[in-house]
């Protein structure tokens, strides 16, 4: 899946995010990957994904300027490849 503004994402349930002075560390307990989130804005967006209906709503709520949205979509795409975020699972 390619991340788009309409994508509905969540932090993978096996991922722990630990705040750091540079941003955060994201550790996936399943695949044992350690990912550096180097920008506090990206950390805020990732941690807010579950609270909003889609990526665009999350970016807006986090105060990210629209001209920066393409870089955030690219970052979220990379994080999806690393399994830090995934398509939100709907409970049935």
Mean pLDDT on 32-56? 95
Residue 2 lies in a domain: no
Q: Which CATH number belongs to the domain containing residue 66 in this structure?
A: 3.90.930
Judge whether residue 91 has pLDDT over 70.
no
Rounded to 5°, the CA angle 11-14-18 comes to 70
Task: Kindly give, in sequence order, each residue whose CB lies less than 8 Å from that of residue 51, ignoring residues fewer than 6 positions away.
Answer: 58, 61
Residue 92 lies in a domain: no
**Domain residue limits at 79:** 9-86
- Global pTM reads 0.91
Q: In total, how many domains does the chain have? A: 1
Residue 3 lies in a domain: no
Tell me: the pLDDT tens digits for 18-30? 999 999 999 999 9
Tell me: the pLDDT tens digits for 62-82? 999 999 999 999 999 999 999
CA–CA separation, 42 vs 17, rounded Å? 12
Residue 26 lies in a domain: yes
């Amino acid at each position: 899946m390619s991340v788009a503004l309409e994508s509905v994402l969540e932090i993978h349930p096996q991922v722990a995010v630990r705040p750091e002075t540079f941003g955060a560390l994201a550790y996936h307990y399943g695949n044992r990957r350690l990912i550096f989130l180097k920008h506090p804005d990206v950390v805020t967006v990732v941690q807010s994904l579950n609270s909003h209906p889609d990526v665009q709503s999350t970016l807006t709520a986090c105060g990210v300027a629209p001209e920066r949205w393409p870089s955030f979509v690219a970052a979220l795409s990379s994080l999806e490849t690393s399994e830090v975020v995934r398509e939100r699972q709907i409970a049935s």
